[in-house]
Structure 1
């Protein structure tokens, strides 16, 4: 057991320490407060992740029909009730090959654009909604081809698509089909994340298509509708 003399000595030593190092106490308190804040932040992130809404995913294969059933990418106002999508075929083409095969004016080829840069999907879109219902449509700006496990992303190329379809306009935001009708087309997808020739006006057509099993994202909410598409470039 400490004597009163030893206790007094220890108390005086503490006071001398605090006088010599006045910031020590504040530093220790700050470190403790920071540690507590980090722990609290980590706990909050854990809780948010645990409580986050997780939407189920439905996978489809080439040739299978994905019914959207009101599922959408960005907003329920897309009105996809009755819409269904089937990917009938897939081709890896160059810009010039797409123009020669599907272009309205097949003379619109561009010298040098012969690399395999375009993923061309033969797609059938149907709308089984009653004729009394609004036409609705699919968010063309949100539909993309992703290669899981990589940064590879291909988006609809409305510029190139407009060379093959009179009703398509460059920058078109939606794909709409009349109720009780079906529409088949060949939609070109090109690289959205450029890694080569980034300052070239034809940069998307100078990026080679990587091989792999891509995912065509048709909707995000309340069910993710994904068509898996194997591509061998």
Structure 2
């Protein structure tokens, strides 16, 4: 009676160092971003810094959603409105301009800064701006906390402009902004600029404003001292 030979046991081969290296190399190759990945939304890292747009202002401006345009001058630029600023609804336009203060590219930087200022200077701006303060404060806070000095400068200028228009009505929201100002005050490069801005806030806001500033920035010197 013939016997059937038993199959030989297969011994798994050990991975050699070169094989392991090859696998590791292949894996690292797979995770490398390809140039075409930038065009494929599914492969874009949502947490990548360069994917975060400064604000929605650029997109709105590019689509014609801002009722003014930039006019280039030989010495100085200006913006031209489609209709008088006082006849334009401030909500959401003033907030959109405030968000645009974080933009870092021309013409968005100029248009957002100038548009914000001219709306605040228009007739009836006070009554239109006060109800929008809860929406304006987050945008101003983001500009004041920005790492770029130019953005911070635009945010600080805009804050003083708002204070000049609404006066003491800013006090209910001021604490949210003072932390960023306190940090910049410690930087010699911004010390004089921030001090001047705080003094204007005190001037426009009154005694209550001084108390709020002192509570967050004890070293602040009042304009009355």
TM-score, normalised relative to structure 1: 0.31
Q: Which has the higher strand share?
A: 1
The structure showing larger relative contact order (alpha-carbon pairs under 8 Å, at least 6 residues apart) is 1
TM-score, normalised relative to structure 2: 0.31
